[in-house]
Structure 1
Amino acid sequence: MFRSLLSLIFAAALFVSVPNSGYAQSACPSHGDPEVTLSGIISDPSGALLRDAQVTLTCGNLAVSATTDATGAYTVQLPAGTYSLAVVSKGFTTKQQTFQVLPNRANQQDLVLNVAQENSTVEVRAGAQGYAVSENSEATRTDTSIRDIPQAVYVIPEQVLQDQQVIRLADAVRNVSGVTIAEDAGGRQERVTLRGFVTDTTFQDGFRNASNANATFPDFANVERVDILKGPSSTVFGRLDPGGVVNLVTKQPLSEHYYSATMQGGSYQLLRPTIDASGPLTANKSLLYRFIASGQDSQSFRDFNFTRRLFLSPTLTWTPSPSTSLRLYTEFLGGSNLNDRGLIAIGTRPANLPVSRYLADPNLVYPYRQGKAGLSFDQALGRGWTFRSYERSSTGWDNYNARVANALSKDMQMVTLNDLRSDQYFQAHYWINEVTGTVKTGPIQHTLLAGAELDYEIYDTNTTRQASGTPAETLNIYYPNYAALPPRDLMESTINQTRDGYGGGYLQDQITLTPKLKVTGGLRYDLAKLKTVGYFASPSSSSRDTAWSPRVGLVYDPVQAFSFYATYNKSFQPESGTQANGTPFVPEYGRLLETGFKFDTLSHRVTGTAAVYQIDLTNVITADPNNPGFSIQLGQQRSRGMEFNALTHLTHQWDLISGYALTNATIHKDNTYLVDSQLQSVPRHTGNLWTRYTQSQGRLSGASIGAGVSGVSNMQGQLITQAAPNTFYLVPGWGRVDAGISYEPPKEAGWRYRFALNANNLLDRRYFSGASGRFAVYPGSPRDIIASFQLIR
């Protein structure tokens, strides 16, 4: 029934998507044609002139660019013809329009840029085929050139996501070294390892996207790009694990009509239709919309497992005046799958079982429903200053319903199943207010940011388990008899409620001392109030924590092609619970020391970042040796490493993404775990390579072929304890090969199509992507094929 509904949705989209063949594309001028002058002035809604705005005119393979001077003026020389004109300036929306350059005369085009939404579009260089990105707003909350950010920042742009047919975060992050998926929490949430530390908190459009705001992994139907910031970054993000930030940037409404219908299908009965429609709702384009809908129905390489989900995301942007912009964002996601925690480990390796073996009750389904809504308000204050206020709320429910393995018999034949059912309800409300602008003190320029954030999270659970003394349910791992599992008898109930409130204020100054020397400084103060209400046997607790989070970074550009940087950052993460004397736990603190260089050489042919770093995590909870059953905060963990990521344009049609990271993440001090042992789910070596060639001429113009390899070394599947230092296991290292081809005819008005075919794990290697203990070892998929057909206008 569900598959029939998805097919009907896609068929309806195709019915309204009949191509119009009556269009003839006009020819573009060539470089040898006579040139004329085009000039103009770029300003903001208050009339202030915009310096350093990037003006680009393109027609076919011809592209001409210029940058505005201190008076907001630009001038270019180019042949007469009809061009696509794009203007990009920090803090303002990208202006795009068709413009005709007339022959035998001086042409002029002045433009006023509207204030940008907080989720502004990054700049993609002309001729880079969508792989090169030069600006990012994640690390500083201001649109800043990546080379001027004193920290490692990486962007996985939409073109890469499309070329690789990414539908899960795990498939996206393999393009950045040192970032892996530690586990997916039984199909409920992807937990990311960054620089040696695991986090279950990602961000979406700069808003927290943790377990208190999600019941499942995010859908990629409306994801435009993935931003990754390495290392502690609490100055602008508040409470945070020390590894870094993964931020999903969603697609915004467009000022021109856009329609797309895509059908993906492939291995394990995958069926995934997606509809994307956008454009103006009013003649003056003050009201824009975007509607994205996607569904998925698929089986799995894992026995009995499946994925069924429906995703809807309507979005509106209203610009009542050039200086004011409002955006309403909504999304709904519902579906179901099995709670699947993979295989188990026996001895020092994952058990020698088929990767398809399911070690739980296949009759218990994990359903979920969640919705999100938010409103963003952006107001230009004049003279380059902008006020932004944006709020996003999430609500949802899921039913953790599973019998999963949690013990192994002495003969290593039978697993004991932990049987529980938990109704989980959540709400999350996030409100951020910021003012940004630029000022000058003599020859020194300051880009200032001042902000305040308020968060409130609600998480309620009603959990039932087997009554004490009930015989344990077991399953033979080699010859499982699922039908023999006894009926469930869940009697004992536990109710827990959490009510957590957070508030923070922050200041930041990006100082341009000279054109070659830039300093970024910031400071944040946070207050966290955590409250847990327990019922029956569960205890109640509350705590109040405060934290200061400073950052200082330096960037030096000795030559145009290189910038050297150094940074000091801190992070904090509140902890709930108390010590033996009743004193509440204080936050964990992360501290980053990092230095490196960024390069952009040979006319943008090679760009990238190389870095070395050390991250120290303190106040880690560990056993209290003087009070058995209680904990103290004396633990310390440390991660040291180096990493390299680069994008190389081998030719105009040939791109190469490459990366390598060396990570040494260890227990530095602890009463429970072995000092100097490796942290869990952290490979010492990770590497990635992806290359793509696109034919731009001849009969195969628009055809593309890509291939790559990604892999990791072995990693600890569990932390090694001091009590049993010889009891550990390793998740084997692996490497997998992926490939893809696509064909999209050259762009023209009217409808066009795109066909793509991708093969993941092309060589069909057996591997394990991560682990979270002996009873949760996650196998990677064998070879799988995914094909797609897309109609676009």
Structure 2
Amino acid sequence: MPSLLQGSGLKVVKRGPADYVMEKTGTAENMVLDTVAVVGSRISSDGYLAFSTSAGSKTDTPLIELAQSISVVTEEQLRDRQPSSVEQAVAYTAGVRVEAAGMDPRFDLISVRGYPTVYHGDFLDGLRQPNSGWLSYYSTVPYNLERIEVVKGPDSMRYGQLSPGGLVNRVSKRPSADAPQEVQLQVGSHNHLQGQFDVGGEMGSDVQYRLVGVMRDAQTDIEQVDNDVTLLAPTLHWQMSERTDITFITQYQERQTSASPRPYQDGDNLTHFWSGDEDFDKLDQEQWALGYEFNHRWSDQLQLQQNVRYGQVDTTNQYLSAGTLSGTTLSRSSVGLYEEMESLSADTRLMATFDQGKVEHQVMLGADYAYLENDVIYAGGSAPSIDIDNPDYSQPVAQPNNVWTNDSGETHRRGLYLQDQVKLDNWRLTAGIRRDWARDETRNNLTGTVSESRDEKNTWRLGALYAFDSGLSPYFSYAQSFLPESGTDVSGNDFDPTEGEQFELGLKYQPVGRETMLTAAIYQIDETNRKTTDIENPLFQVQTGEVRTRGLELEAVGNVTDDLRMTASYNYNRSEITADNDGNEGSDLANTPRHLASLWVDYRVPALERLHLAGGVRYIGSEYIDNANSNKNSAYSLIDMAAHYDFAGSLQGVRASLNATNVTDEEHISCEGIYCYRGAGRSLIGSIAYQW
């Protein structure tokens, strides 16, 4: 910056973390300056620490200035850990629980602060990835991501319907003039074979493109359960004019795995026997999506942004359900679920910046819309039994012909929101309000009946942060959430949405000149309008249930030294059922461990500076299997390790990597009520990549 301002009569003055202004130094000299090239880009990171995020505010705001807990898994973390799923990618993130239902390649089962995100907190590029509530989900391949943002706590003011725990926003790779290009081959445990590439370039002076592809042929801990993926994701950026640009983001994906990736359970005993059929048992999913991000700046003070995505998911889900065991013969029945789903998501924002004396405003007025339509057939049928001592996995199985469900559904979500981010000296203040309209309609194609529900809701967000020049930023925030509920009470009245609110008090510290951030937060989340048994009419429910969650969250991310970088986290999360008609008052929420901790360290060996050795440990505390707290899942720890070497000379750009998860092959079983699931065992994957 001094080179740019030489002779201009201006200087840069630091006012706070990530906050600089220009001031006059005197009369500018009348001289010719040397040419200096300036390349601009979004604030991000080349390492483990991200400096800004759009997920927490829908504006590019430095993390140190956001009055909210947000964790970011950077592209460098993704490259070092080589995750095969988003679950694996966020496993070392503060307040995040994964594998609550064991090893399951069908979807990413992620919980934030005790609340699952798979149904209502799954986002891609700032837009909701909706699901039908059956088995159609938009899945994401980590190799196509440049970062993953985890927003903690309620945030319906910006994103509409959400669970109180938060959301996970995946950010797709985009065209960039300086983006590295890469080809990679992986081989590993469970017959894992995966090839992937990431290439791009320029098409003239105004157009850039990028193409990401992945093809995986693999199995899982269960030999008969595949984990195959094919992905093709082209993106294109067009700089239409000096003030207008658009980025097209598309992807096509196929996924093949099992519809029942869990072994047979004999009473309380979870065996290692798989009771399915290799030809019949499958989850085949085909999905594609087409969208764009549009930006237009009328001036430096006024701009328009719009994100739009349309997508489809076709799902074939078939499995054999285990029945009774007689001797060594296990009876089975067939189940099939066939679904087509399409969705449209759009978010339009008008942003204006202006000053009122010493007060700087960044005002955002936004409107979003989400639409989902799905058709589902759910059926059952007969199937041959199987001998558990001498299984035949190739017996013919007829298609299920007893149709239990044939439904068509539509959901519409509309929202209008207003947010103001204020700077006053070192203060950073945020206030926002939103109005939502929700409509759901389901048609039973077997009976011809149609059910419809409508909801409207206001939500708020308030935040205050003081950014000391030293890099210390204490903050306080209040936020709300809501979720529409299905069903009716004894009088036939539609249930109201569940509501959530959070109070959070936190402290962030980013030492000046260091790529390190330390965060600490205490929070209280209250969820109301939960359904519980109607005491006077036990076959019905009322909305008098309540849950309170209190927690402490600690996280450290960044470079400890030039050779050592790390992520470390601890989360204490105490969830208590505070109102309930089922006798569970005072109990913990099911499958919500009170303690989570993790540590990942990457060390560059000084004597061999191109060699990195890394390792991590994840601790998941004990948890109750149901809301009655009748039994517990045991605590466990998992150890992961990794190493990579970057070659030089004629092999410049080549990286050899070795990644191992659950190195000790620790058996960990999680039960939800009467159903139990086994977590993923040891996995070892080696890869060779060439980047240029």
TM-score, normalising length from structure 1?
A: 0.79
- Counterpart check, 1:240 vs 2:139: no
The Cα of 1:289 is off from its aligned counterpart by 0.4
CA drift at 1:179: 0.5
Cross-structure match for 2:28: none
Matches within 5 A, 1:305-454: 305-343=225-263, 351=269, 353-354=271-272, 357-363=273-279, 364-405=281-322, 419-454=334-369
**CA deviation after TM superposition for structure 1 residue 731, in Å:** 2.4
Native 8 Å contact 2:89 2:142 kept in 1 = no
| Matched residue SS, 1:39 | helix
Partner residue, 2:29: none
Q: Distance in 2 between matches of 1:601 and 1:484?
A: 64
Which letter does structure 2 place at the counterpart of 1:711? Y
Alignment of 1:197 onto 2:115: yes
Question: Shift of residue 649 of structure 1?
Answer: 2.7
Checking the alignment, whether the CA contact within 8 Å between 2:407 and 2:445 is kept in structure 1 is yes
Structure 1: distance between partners of 2:58 and 2:24:
24
For 1:786, the equivalent position in structure 2 comes to 685
Matched, 1:716 2:624: yes
Distance 1:417 1:584, change over 3 A: farther
Structure-2 residue corresponding to 1:774: 674
Q: How does 1:56-205 map to 2 (within 5 A)?
A: 69-70=21-22, 107-109=34-36, 111=38, 121-124=42-45, 130-181=47-98, 182-183=100-101, 187-200=105-118, 201-205=121-125
Q: Which runs of 5+ in 2 are unaligned?
A: 26-31
Q: Take 1:328 and 1:504, find their aligned partners in 2: how far apart are those partners?
A: 24
Counterpart in the other structure of 1:514: 425
Q: Does 1:502 align with 2:413?
A: yes
Residue 38 of structure 1 aligns with which residue? 3
Q: Alpha carbon RMSD of aligned pairs, Å?
A: 3.2
Q: 1:257 to 1:337 in 2, by over 3 A?
A: closer
Deviation track 1:491-532 (CA, whole Å, cap 9, x = no partner) reads 2352101111111010111111222x2211000100001111
Per-residue deviation, 1:434: 0.2
**Runs of 4+ in structure 1 over 4 Å off:** 49-54, 65-68, 110-113, 343-347, 411-418, 472-489, 748-751
Assess, with a 3 A threshold, how the Cα gap between structure 1 residues 379 and 648 changes in structure 2: closer, same or farther.
Answer: closer
Deviation at 1:258, TM superposition (A): 4.2
Mean Cα displacement is larger for which, 248-257 or 446-455? Answer: 248-257
**Contact map agreement 2:102 2:680 (CA 8 A) in 1:** no
Amino acid at match of 2:284: P
CA-CA distance at 1:366 after TM superposition: 1.4
1:359 deviates by: 3.8
Unaligned stretches of 5+ in structure 1?
A: 1-35, 42-48, 55-64, 74-104
Match of 1:458 among 355, 363, 373: 373
Match of 2:633 in 1: 731
- Equivalents in 1 of 2:103, 2:544: separation in Å? 28
1:144 CA drift (Å):
0.9
SS where residue 77 of structure 2 aligns? Answer: helix
Residue by residue, what CA displacement relative to the aligned partner does 1:678-721 show, whole Å, maximum 9, x if unpaired?
2222111111001111246x6x332111111112012223332x
Q: Where do 1:278-677 residues align within 5 Å?
A: 278-282=200-204, 284=205, 286-343=206-263, 351=269, 353-354=271-272, 357-363=273-279, 364-405=281-322, 419-466=334-381, 490-515=401-426, 517-537=427-447, 540-558=450-468, 560-601=470-511, 603-604=513-514, 606-672=516-582, 674-677=584-587
CA contact (8 A) 1:639 1:664 kept: yes
1:701 and 2:609 equivalent? yes
1:214 Cα deviation from its structure 2 partner:
5.1
Once the two structures are superposed, what CA deviation does each residue of 1:304-351 show, in whole Å capped at 9, x if it has no partner?
11122210001111002121101111100113111134247777xx62
- Note the alpha carbon deviations across 1:472-504, whole angstroms, 9 max, x for none: 987677886657897565323521011111110
Structure 1 residue 298 displacement after superposition: 0.6
Aligned partners of 2:679, 2:223: CA distance in 1, in Å? 14
Query: Structure 1: which amino acid aligns with 2:654?
Result: Y
8 Å contact kept, 2:618–2:639: yes
Question: Within 2, Cα distance between the matches of 1:695 and 1:678?
Answer: 45
**Displacement after TM superposition at 1:152 (Å):** 0.5
- CA distance in 1 between partners of 2:579 and 2:447 (Å): 33
Who is 1:754 aligned against? 655
CA contact under 8 A between 2:332 and 2:384: conserved in structure 1? yes
CA distance in 1, matches of 2:179, 2:551: 47
The answer (yes or no) to whether the contact 1:262–1:791 under 8 Å persists in 2 is yes
My pick for the range that moved more, 360-369 or 221-230, is: 360-369
1:728-777 deviation digits (Å, cap 9, x = unpaired): 4432221111111111136x999621111111111221113x454423x3
Alignment-derived partner of residue 23 in structure 1: none
Contact 1:40/1:108 (<8 A) preserved: no
Contact 2:103 2:677 in 1 (8 A): no
The one-letter amino acid of 2:417's match is: Y
How far is 1:173 from its partner?
Answer: 1.4
How many residue pairs end up in the alignment?
A: 677
Q: Distance in 2 between matches of 1:342 and 1:544?
A: 37
Letter in 2 for 1:322: E
Aligned-partner Cα distance in 2 for 1:51–1:372: 44
2 CA distance for matches of 1:482 and 1:367?
Answer: 19
Q: Quick one: which amino acid aligns to residue 267 of structure 1?
A: S
CA contact (8 A) 2:56 2:151 kept: yes
Q: What is the CA distance between 1:671 and its match in structure 2?
A: 2.3
Letter in 2 for 1:107: D
Shift in CA distance, 40/288, structure 1 to aligned 2, threshold 3 Å: farther
- Tell me the distance in 1 between the aligned counterparts of 2:672 and 2:277: 20
Q: Distance in 2 between matches of 1:745 and 1:717?
A: 49
- Residue 217 (str. 1) matches residue 139 (str. 2): yes
Distance 1:66 1:109, change over 3 A: farther
Distance 1:417 1:628 in 2: 33
Distance 1:160 1:403, change over 3 A: same
Task: Indicate if the aligned counterparts of 1:494 and 1:537 stay in contact, CA closer than 8 A.
Answer: no
Q: Give the 3-state SS of the residue equivalent to 1:536 in structure 2.
A: coil
Residue 471 of structure 2 aligns with an amino acid whose one-letter code is: A
Residues 322 and 643 (structure 1), Cα distance of their counterparts in 2 relative to 1, 3 Å cut: same
Give the match's secondary structure for 2:64. Answer: helix
Kept in 2: contact 1:709–1:737 (CA 8 A): yes
Q: Does the residue aligned with 1:159 lie in a helix, a strand or coil?
A: helix
Q: Which residue of 2 aligns with 1:226?
A: 148
3-state SS, counterpart of residue 546 of structure 2:
strand
Structure 1 residues 465 and 186 mapped into 2: Cα distance closer, same or farther (>3 Å)?
A: farther
Counterpart of 1:227 in structure 2: which amino acid?
A: E
Q: Which moved more, 1:207-216 or 1:156-165?
A: 207-216
Query: Identity, % of aligned pairs?
Result: 25
Aligned to 1:8: none
Deviation at 1:538, TM superposition (A): 8.0
Worse-superposed segment, 640-649 or 415-424 = 415-424
Please report how far the alpha carbon of residue 373 of structure 1 lies from its aligned counterpart in structure 2 after TM superposition: 0.4
Q: Is the 8 A contact 1:575 1:588 kept in 2?
A: yes
Conserved in 1, the CA contact under 8 Å of 2:87 and 2:109? no
CA 251–496 in structure 1, closer or farther in 2 if over 3 Å, else same: same
Higher mean displacement: 756-765 or 174-183: 174-183
